[in-house]
Amino acid sequence: MRRTASSKFLRAVDALCEELQRTCGLTRFSIVVDRASRPLTVTLENDFHGIRRHGTARFTLELHDGDRRLGEVVLEDALAHAYPEEVRSAAGDVLARHVHALRDVLPT
């Protein structure tokens, strides 16, 4: 049972990461899940993340289900210096589309 729950969680995280990569560009993605015992962090990165230029674009989005905070998502792009506002907005839209799928499979 636990394996199935973790598989569903990882599939939901992977789907979110893939859409954010297509929409926003990223070389590293982390999701930090707020849990009663302690936060759980899952990080995915591609081969380009090790390439450091003058700076790495990075920003954090809070993950909410209504008023309840579920955690946060951190996007990084080692190939860019900053994320433009329109990309940040698009990332928020992507996260909003995935929040219900994530909420239903979050580890407790």
Quick check: 45 and 78 in contact, CB under 8 A? no
User: What pLDDT is attached to residue 73?
Assistant: 96
Q: What is the number of alpha carbons within 13 Å of residue 68 lying toward its C-beta? A: 8
User: What pLDDT is attached to residue 106?
Assistant: 83
* pLDDT tens string 83-107: 999 999 999 999 999 999 999 898 7
> Hey, where are the domains in the chain?
2-103
User: What pLDDT is attached to residue 30?
Assistant: 94
User: What pLDDT is attached to residue 50?
Assistant: 66
- Which residues in the chain come in under a pLDDT of 70? 1-5, 47-54, 108
Which two structure tokens, joined as six digits, stand for 107? 């580890």
User: What pLDDT is attached to residue 1?
Assistant: 41
Quick check: 95 and 13 in contact, CB under 8 A? no
2-103 CATH: 3.30.450.40
User: What pLDDT is attached to residue 98?
Assistant: 95
Strand partners of residue 42: 31
